[in-house]
Chain A
Amino acid sequence: RAKPGGKDEL
């Protein structure tokens, strides 16, 4: 699950 605040995708 994605870390809120740090998104590596565009």
Chain B
Amino acid sequence: MNIFRLLGDLSHLLAIIILLLKIWRTRSCAGVSGKSQILFALVFTTRYLDLFTNFISMYNSAMKLIYLVCSYATVFLMYFKFKATYDSNHDTFRMEFLVVPVGGLAFLVNHDFTPLEILWTFSIYLEAVAILPQLFMISKTGEAETITSHYLFALGSYRALYIVNWVFRFYTEGFFDLIAIVAGCVQTILYCDFFYLYITKVLKGKQLTLPA
């Protein structure tokens, strides 16, 4: 554990909590992609199956459980409790366009051809692209609520901090996991355009709107 990883984990946790609180407080999930949230729930489910097979630390298990519970809670709020506020006609990205190719890739490129390892690889690849329905939704409506943009910034920062962590671990421990690194870089690159808009607009007090 190093400071970059800890900050990355906390940033990830912050993102998840911002989104949950936003939905709970406003009693609305307008502007949030339910597809992305389903994909994140699937990411956590397939990645954290090792909760049952491997114990690493209390911190590790507790964070995994919190991520899992929060992501299912978000999906529940969106599709059941506050379903009336869900903007489904703007959330039109087809999940199978991500899940099917990513599933195929996980079968072909992995560290070890075992069920748990393939599911872990699947979750790493899927996480890299799971935000696309959300970004697609914002590009369709042309804007995002400020709180939604804070959520996206925290979520994007998490993987960017992990990249710094991987560089650090490579030099200090000689540890590297090429699958996680490549997917993590792809994931971070997908947020770059958003980071630019966030810094140039949201941090100056304006709402996030896309240039016409």
Residue numbers of A with Cβ under 8 A of B are: 1-2, 4-10
- What's the Cα separation between A5 and B12 when bound, in Å? 22
Residue from B5, B53, B162 in contact with A5 in the complex, judged by beta carbons closer than 8 Å: B53
Interface presence of B60 (CB below 8 A): yes
Which residues of chain B have C-beta atoms less than 8 A from A6's C-beta?
50, 54, 56
For the residues of B in contact with A, the DSSP-based class is helix
Interface size on B, residues (CB 8 A): 27
- Cβ contact within 8 Å between A5 and B50: yes
- Cβ contact within 8 Å between B63 and A10: yes
- Cβ contact within 8 Å between A10 and B50: no
- Cβ contact within 8 Å between A1 and B175: yes
For the residues of A in contact with B, the DSSP-based class is loop
- What's the Cα separation between A1 and B120 when bound, in Å? 15
Which residues of chain A have C-beta atoms less than 8 A from B178's C-beta?
1
Most chain B CB inside 10 Å of its own CB: which residue of A5, A6, A8, A9: A9
Known: A7-B50, A10-B12, A10-B64. A1 touches B56 (CB 8 A): no
Chain A to chain B: the 5 pairs with minimum beta-carbon distance, closest first: A4-B112, A2-B177, A4-B117, A6-B54, A4-B111
